[in-house]
A and B are shown apart, each in its own frame.
Chain A
């Protein structure tokens, strides 16, 4: 049995943490990276979530 790799390019995929998603995002622009995967509402929320995440991590 092999472990199925989690696709971390979409933060809404089950099991994807913000750390994993940020690694997948790299230096790309969030809006462009998620453009075809998420709705505008979802992108706006993820943007806010990542801001909170970085603030909480400090």
Chain B
């Protein structure tokens, strides 16, 4: 017997899980990869001190003013910037979709709990990823212009033309990333205090980083770094490297050939507990682009009003009868660097 049916067919089931985008977590804040300080609103003063002493021939007379002990204290004001992520959610678009089933009865009710659980929940991690990128890559318009205005050269104490190219290519953000701050800042603790080139150590004669060159490039950075940084055992210096170096390092370490079987990097553990190091210095993989930083972690500062602001979302009904919801996140942040002469900036 023939069955006659008209009106189209429809899928009778759906996958319960919605495949979510992958978001790089904000490891820098979560794991405190650098010195994360909170409790600052619009600005804060950063102090740096240093003492230099000179030994003189011993005498039996009373102490005189010799100038042999030089005490220095510098204060630098650092401004924090507030930025926000906000929008209006137009849920009317969800009518007629799968999500309509979870809307409550009543024409006013177009909020879908299921939509919130499946999609809206991704907003906070997406903001976390954006903030993580902001910390390591990006500069304000003013900072970009200041760095472009520096006179480039090859020697220490000058910016490389390559660094200027990298900064020009950085996304324009409301907050300066750590590399941008290291390159140009107004620290009063620099050899030449005030606005200008940072006192960082640059790595000359660098080459493109590939599987074959990565060992040599890390070696250049390691060898030129101040011995005080390398020997700082109470808080060992770390290498902050671009995310893609993890792949390059593993591939380089696994090369087998007559000449290239030397493992330059130590890889321990796997997954969440994996630790990769170079000459005993842990490598932290962060969204840097073109730059690497070798520094004592606490010399790199992230100043916040409140770190939990990163994941704090306000969601509410728009007023005056609108069938819309608003979503808003607001944060205050600045990056800073201290002890600049001990910070090595590969690519700087």
A15 and B155 contact, Cβ closer than 8 Å, known pairs A45-B206, A45-B207, A52-B161: yes
Residue among B154, B164, B168 having the largest count of chain A Cβ atoms under 10 Å: B154
Binds A, one of B84-92, B145-153, B178-186, B296-304: B145-153
List 12 extra interface pairs beyond A17-B151, A45-B206, CB under 8 A: A13-B155, A14-B156, A14-B157, A15-B153, A16-B154, A17-B152, A17-B158, A18-B152, A41-B207, A44-B207, A45-B204, A53-B152
Q: Give A residues with C-beta under 8 Å from B.
A: 11-19, 21, 39, 41-42, 44-46, 48-50, 52-53, 55-56
- Contact present for B154 and A46 (CB under 8 Å): yes
What's the count of A-B pairs with C-beta under 8 Å? 61
Which residues between 139 and 193 of chain B lie within 8 Å of chain A, taking CB atoms? 148, 151-158, 160-162, 164-165, 168
- Contact present for A11 and B165 (CB under 8 Å): no
**Does B205 reach chain A (CB closer than 8 Å)?**
yes
- Contact present for B162 and A11 (CB under 8 Å): no
- Contact present for B205 and A42 (CB under 8 Å): yes
- Contact present for B156 and A56 (CB under 8 Å): no
- Contact present for B204 and A42 (CB under 8 Å): yes
**Complex alpha-carbon distance, A42 and B164, angstroms:** 19
Q: Give B residues with C-beta under 8 Å from A.
A: 148, 151-158, 160-162, 164-165, 168, 204-207
**Complex alpha-carbon distance, A41 and B205, angstroms:** 6
**Complex alpha-carbon distance, A55 and B206, angstroms:** 19
Chain A's nearest CB lies how many Å from the CB of B80? 30
A52 and B205 contact, Cβ closer than 8 Å, known pairs A11-B154, A14-B157, A19-B151: no
- Contact present for A14 and B161 (CB under 8 Å): no
Q: A55 contacts which chain B residues (CB < 8 A)?
A: 165
Q: B148 contacts which chain A residues (CB < 8 A)?
A: 56
Chain B's nearest CB lies how many Å from the CB of A25? 13
**Complex alpha-carbon distance, A56 and B161, angstroms:** 8
A49 and B152 contact, Cβ closer than 8 Å, known pairs A42-B205, A44-B207, A56-B161: yes
- Contact present for B151 and A52 (CB under 8 Å): no
- Contact present for B165 and A56 (CB under 8 Å): yes
Q: Name A11's contact: one of B153, B156, B206, B207 (CB within 8 Å).
A: B153
Kindly report which residue of chain A lies nearest to residue B208, judged by CB atoms.
A48
A16 and B205 contact, Cβ closer than 8 Å, known pairs A49-B162, A52-B161, A56-B164: no
- Contact present for B155 and A45 (CB under 8 Å): no
- Contact present for A49 and B154 (CB under 8 Å): yes
- Contact present for B206 and A52 (CB under 8 Å): no
- Contact present for A53 and B161 (CB under 8 Å): yes
Q: B153 contacts which chain A residues (CB < 8 A)?
A: 11, 15-18, 21
Q: Name B161's contact: one of A15, A44, A49 (CB within 8 Å).
A: A49
Rank and list the top 10 A-B pairs by shortest CB-CB distance, nearest first: A52-B161, A53-B161, A11-B154, A45-B205, A41-B205, A17-B153, A49-B161, A42-B205, A52-B165, A17-B151
Kindly report which residue of chain B lies nearest to residue A40, judged by CB atoms.
B205
Q: A44 contacts which chain B residues (CB < 8 A)?
A: 205, 207
Q: Name B155's contact: one of A16, A39, A48, A50 (CB within 8 Å).
A: A16
Kindly report which residue of chain B lies nearest to residue A57, judged by CB atoms.
B161
Chain B's nearest CB lies how many Å from the CB of A45? 4
- Contact present for B155 and A14 (CB under 8 Å): yes
Could you write out 28 A-B pairs with CB less than 8 Å apart?
Answer: A11-B153, A11-B154, A12-B154, A12-B155, A15-B153, A16-B153, A16-B154, A17-B151, A17-B153, A18-B154, A41-B205, A42-B205, A44-B205, A44-B207, A45-B206, A48-B162, A49-B154, A49-B162, A52-B160, A52-B161, A52-B162, A53-B161, A55-B165, A56-B152, A56-B161, A56-B164, A56-B165, A56-B168
